[in-house]
Amino acid sequence: MDLLRVDDQLTDEERLVRDTARRYAADRIEPHVADWFEEGVFPAAELAPELGELGFLGMHLSGYGCPGAGAVAYGVACRELEAADSGLRSFVSVQGSLAMSAIHKYGSEEQKQEWLPRMAAGRAIGCFGLTEPDHGSDPANMRTHAKREGSDWILNGSKMWITNGSIADVAVVWARTDDGVRGFLVPRGTPGFTTRDVHKKLSLRASVTSELSLDDVRLPEDATLPGVRGLRGPLGCLSEARYGIIWGAIGAGRSCYETAVEYARTREQFGRPIGGFQLTQEKLAWMEVALGQAGLVALHIGRLKEAGKVTPQQVSFGKLANVRAALDIARQARSVLGANGVTLEYPVIRHMTNLESVLTYEGTQEVHTLVLGEAITGLSAYR
Amino acid sequence: MNIVVCVKQVPDTATERKLRSDDKTLDREAADGVINELDEYAVEEALTIKEAHGGEVTVLTMGPEKASESIRKALAMGADKAVHLSDEALHGSDALSTSYALAQVLKKIGFDIVLLGSESTDARTGMLAAMLSERLGVPQVTLANKVEIDGSSLKAQRLTDYGFDRVEASLPAVVSVVEKINEPRYPSFKGIMAAKKKPVEKLAVADAEIDAAKVGLAGASTEVVDFADAPPREKGQIVKDEGDGGVKVAEFLASKKFI
Ligand SMILES: Cc1cc2nc3c(=O)[nH]c(=O)nc-3n(C[C@H](O)[C@H](O)[C@H](O)COP(=O)(O)OP(=O)(O)OC[C@H]3O[C@@H](n4cnc5c(N)ncnc54)[C@H](O)[C@@H]3O)c2cc1C
Ligand SMILES: Cc1cc2nc3c(=O)[nH]c(=O)nc-3n(C[C@H](O)[C@H](O)[C@H](O)COP(=O)(O)OP(=O)(O)OC[C@H]3O[C@@H](n4cnc5c(N)ncnc54)[C@H](O)[C@@H]3O)c2cc1C
């Protein structure tokens, strides 16, 4: 079902991107992802080169081996990947929209040459360290700092909840300096730089989440990203990644919806399919409406982005609206599946718990609500 | 090596397909168009041959404006350029006239090897390869599941009911492929972006010296006289195993003369 046929608005090219992403997810991810989730693993070494070969990594960037796709094509790819699992989309978002985009936006020519082609090919993995144990929504007060020593920098501090942290070949680490917040490229194996994975997560289990520790890490001057100073550096990258979530959330929601529709048609109780009961139909109709609306929001924001007109408030609008819709759809779909809804035999509860992370990262629902509140009233509630 | 792949756009087998009541041709507007699945294998084979022997891969499609989506996909997979034969006069062509029209274009653009799918998923006559080779006066190698090019000739393996035949043919030749031949690549995003810059030559019948009287509904030597919907599938018979399930299944199969 897709009553509004939002995809009819896509160009031929965007449809081809969709088809490639959908086929890849169906062939390579969907058959295994429930097991990865259960085991708490993400086989990055195997998947990254495949994702790179097809062009998922740094997809919307141009040059340095990146395909230079438009915003909507990139969004559609995120949607299809997240229909398989939010962990997969997170991997691609962090690699392309956070780590690569930081280097692409703010890096020196040498840094771009060194990292981007390998990262686009999936032969090097990146992570993006902004959040700290004590500073999440409020990164301006981060503790991690870098001090000059001669021409070198000495970094100390720690970063928490970092996707791809322990599997990254290069960490983009944001630290305060006398000169404002700056970005540093920290290669794996740099003395004093260690990682530890977060275990016992019940969400995004098919995704690596780590703590990064920086203990007197010595870096040369050319490890800094020369192009930006201040918090607008990391925030600029986050806006890119959030945009992908606006689309990705639809994928997760759609997968839950499709599962619920199929189940409602075939599961019989009281002598007929549960889809024939009005209460079930109300749930399905509501999901259809929510997905259609989310699809229109994503497409609209995507076209604005392609025209170079999108504002951070519009991206907040999309993230707030679409993740909430997807999570509500997942919960409704779970109830349609009854007891089967709580097992990993069906994708629904996996999406549902994944979406709890998506709700929190890249700006919590509350923070995006406050961004809109400020846009509406002119009064900032948080700074 | 000048490699031409014939690619047909067909209605998506996943969607409902209808014939038009007015002229009994396929309602191509009603369904999403996709590349005929076997033609993706033909494109893959063309790309593999090009990668090993050099040359150029041209996609040739006869079909309405909408067929450009399928051309785009073949270009995104890696073909170099395309020729799109599109003309109102062609609407309703049968296999004979389709082969005539495609052969005229092939004579015009030249080829060392022409690759086709062994059949389409809509009309399924499976005759185009044979008809084309006859019209072009070149060898035909059909149902190939393996193709090797060796200078001016090719060696192929043909899938048959009893195993396979090994055949050789001189080039130029017409080859149709089956799905065992390879695993078609996904169009990469770079390929998709590059496709929009690749040349697509649009031809009308006059451009290819096609006699309009020999094509289209009027020029067809076959006519669809009537059609009817396939009867709905009957509900399957469920055998409950009460200790004698095996026997019941065997009896059923015997009654249908399967065993
Ligand atoms: C699986 C996962 C992966 C992640 N990956 C990354 C990554 O790769 N890189 C990275 O840097 N970070 C990452 N994060 C971290 C994520 O961005 C933070 O968790 C998020 O920004 C929230 O920070 P916090 O968890 O410290 O919550 P807090 O900021 O402590 O918030 C707790 C609660 O308080 C609310 N709150 C806070 N301030 C206000 C306010 N002013 N008004 C109203 N409510 C408020 C929040 O909305 C939330 O509900 C990841 C998180 C998860 C779960
Ligand atoms: C439901 C239906 C029934 C039909 N029945 C008949 C019939 O009984 N007799 C008849 O003569 N016609 C019939 N037609 C007309 C038919 O569409 C055309 O004749 C068609 O081009 C014949 O080829 P095919 O698709 O059967 O080709 P096949 O020989 O099955 O296709 C083999 C390959 O030829 C190539 N090819 C085929 N068509 C094209 C094209 N337009 N452009 C480029 N490459 C192409 C592709 O590589 C394809 O894989 C029917 C059409 C429909 C929709």
Q: Is position A90 within any domain?
A: yes
Model confidence at B17: pLDDT above 90: no
Burial class (CB in 10 A: 0-12, 13-18, 19+), B17: middle
Tens digit of each residue's pLDDT (9 = 90 or more) over B168-201: 999 999 999 999 999 999 999 999 999 999 999 9
Within 8 A of B186 by CB-CB distance, chain A residues are 20, 23-24, 54
Query: What gap in Å lies between CA B12 and CA B69, rounded to an integer?
Result: 13
Q: Is position A247 within any domain?
A: yes
- The answer to whether B186 contacts A20, with C-beta atoms less than 8 Å apart, is yes
Q: Give the pLDDT confidence score for residue B231 in this predicted structure.
A: 84
Q: Which of A162, A191, A223 delimits the end of a domain?
A: A223
CA angle B42, B14, B29 (to 5 degrees): 85
Contact at 8 Å (CB) between A122 and A57? yes
Are A36 and A157 in the same domain? no
Within 8 A of B197 by CB-CB distance, chain A residues are none
Are A219 and A241 in the same domain? no
- The answer to whether A23 contacts B76, with C-beta atoms less than 8 Å apart, is no
Q: How far is A6 from chain B (nearest CA, A)?
A: 14
Tell whether B256 lies on the interface with A, counting CB pairs under 8 A.
no
Q: Is any atom of ligand 1 closer than 6 Å to the C-beta of A367?
A: yes
Q: Is position A144 within any domain?
A: yes
**At A284, phi and psi to the nearest 5?**
-70, -40
Tens digit of each residue's pLDDT (9 = 90 or more) over A128-153: 999 999 999 999 999 999 999 999 99
> Which of A54, A66, A72 is the best mutation test for B, with the most CBs of B within 10 A?
A54
Are A285 and A367 in the same domain? yes
CATH of the domain at A280: 1.20.140.10
Contact at 8 Å (CB) between A77 and A191? no
Contact at 8 Å (CB) between A306 and A71? yes
Please report, for chain B, the start and end positions of each structural domain, with discontinuous segments joined by +. Answer: 2-231
Distance B99 CA to ligand 2 centre (A): 9
Are A111 and A140 in the same domain? no
Name residue A146's beta-bridge partners. A155
Residue-wise over B119-149: b if at least 16 C-beta within 10 A, else e?
bbbbbebbbbbbbbbebbebbbbbbbbbbeb
Q: Is any atom of ligand 1 closer than 6 Å to the C-beta of A162?
A: yes
> Which of A12, A15, A23, A72 is the best mutation test for B, with the most CBs of B within 10 A?
A12
Q: Is position A341 within any domain?
A: yes
- Which residue did the predictor score with more confidence, B151 or A363? A363
Tell whether B193 lies on the interface with A, counting CB pairs under 8 A.
yes
Are A134 and A94 in the same domain? no
Query: What gap in Å lies between CA A192 and CA A186, rounded to an integer?
Result: 11
Residue nearest to atom 12 of ligand 2 (CA): B94
- Sign (positive or negative) of CA dihedral A77, A82, A84, A87: positive
State CA B51 to chain mean position distance. Answer: 22
Distance A14 CA to ligand 2 centre (A): 28
Minimum Cα–Cα distance from B33: chain A residue: A12
Within 8 A of A56 by CB-CB distance, chain B residues are 189
Q: Is position A1 within any domain?
A: no
| Residue B40 pLDDT level (bands cut at 50, 70, 90) | very high
Nearest ligand 2 atom to alpha carbon B85 = 42
CATH of the domain at A83: 1.10.540.10
Are A238 and A320 in the same domain? yes
> Which of A2, A8, A13, A80 is the best mutation test for B, with the most CBs of B within 10 A?
A13
Q: Is position A338 within any domain?
A: yes
Q: Is any atom of ligand 2 closer than 6 Å to the C-beta of B114?
A: no
Q: Which domain holds residue A313?
A: 232-377
Is the CATH number 3.40.50.20 carried by domain B2-231?
A: no
Residue nearest to atom 37 of ligand 2 (CA): B8
Distance B176 CA to ligand 2 centre (A): 14
Q: Give the pLDDT confidence score for residue B146 in this predicted structure.
A: 96
Domain count, chain A: 3
Are A58 and A189 in the same domain? no
Distance B137 CA to ligand 2 centre (A): 20
Instruction: Residue A148: count other Cβ atoms within 10 Å of its Cβ.
Output: 12
Model confidence at B241: pLDDT above 90: no
Contact at 8 Å (CB) between A225 and A111? yes
Q: Is position A44 within any domain?
A: yes
Q: Which ligand is nearest to the CA of B221?
A: 2
Q: Is any atom of ligand 1 closer than 6 Å to the C-beta of A301?
A: no
Query: What gap in Å lies between CA A131 and CA A74, rounded to an integer?
Result: 25
Within 8 A of B68 by CB-CB distance, chain A residues are 12
Are A130 and A112 in the same domain? no
pTM of the model: 0.90
Q: Give the pLDDT confidence score for residue A15 in this predicted structure.
A: 94
**Mean pLDDT lowest among A187-196, A298-307, A321-330, B149-158:** B149-158
Tens digit of each residue's pLDDT (9 = 90 or more) over A15-59: 999 999 999 999 999 999 999 999 999 999 999 999 999 999 999
Are A107 and A142 in the same domain? no
Q: Which helix (H) or strand (E) holds B6?
A: strand B2-6
Contact at 8 Å (CB) between A56 and A77? yes
Residue nearest to atom 53 of ligand 1 (CA): A357
Tens digit of each residue's pLDDT (9 = 90 or more) over A250-295: 999 999 999 999 999 999 999 999 999 999 999 999 999 999 999 9
Contact at 8 Å (CB) between B188 and A120? no
For residue A280, the one-letter residue type is T
Nearest ligand 1 atom to alpha carbon A165 = 8
Burial class (CB in 10 A: 0-12, 13-18, 19+), A10: middle
Contact at 8 Å (CB) between A282 and A111? no
Minimum Cα–Cα distance from B192: chain A residue: A13
Q: Which of A85, A103, A120 delimits the end of a domain?
A: A120
Q: Give the pLDDT confidence score for residue A211 in this predicted structure.
A: 98
Are A256 and A319 in the same domain? yes
ipTM: 0.87
Q: Give the pLDDT confidence score for residue B28 in this predicted structure.
A: 75
Query: What gap in Å lies between CA A260 and CA A275, rounded to an integer?
Result: 9
Q: Which ligand is nearest to the CA of A366?
A: 1
Q: Which of A120, A145, A166 delimits the end of a domain?
A: A120
Question: Nearest to residue A211, comparing CAs of A158, A172, A173?
Answer: A158
Distance A337 CA to ligand 1 centre (A): 31
Are A18 and A55 in the same domain? yes
Query: What gap in Å lies between CA B208 and CA B223, rounded to an integer?
Result: 25
Quick one: DSSP state of residue B19?
B
Query: What gap in Å lies between CA B153 and CA B112, rounded to an integer?
Result: 10
* Residues of A annotated as catalytic (active site), given as ranges: 362
Q: Give the pLDDT confidence score for residue B18 in this predicted structure.
A: 80
Q: Is A190 helix (H, G, I), strand (E, B) or coil?
A: coil
Six-digit token string for A241: 């990644």
Are A348 and A240 in the same domain? yes
Query: What gap in Å lies between CA A307 and CA A309, rounded to an integer?
Result: 5
Q: Is position A382 within any domain?
A: no
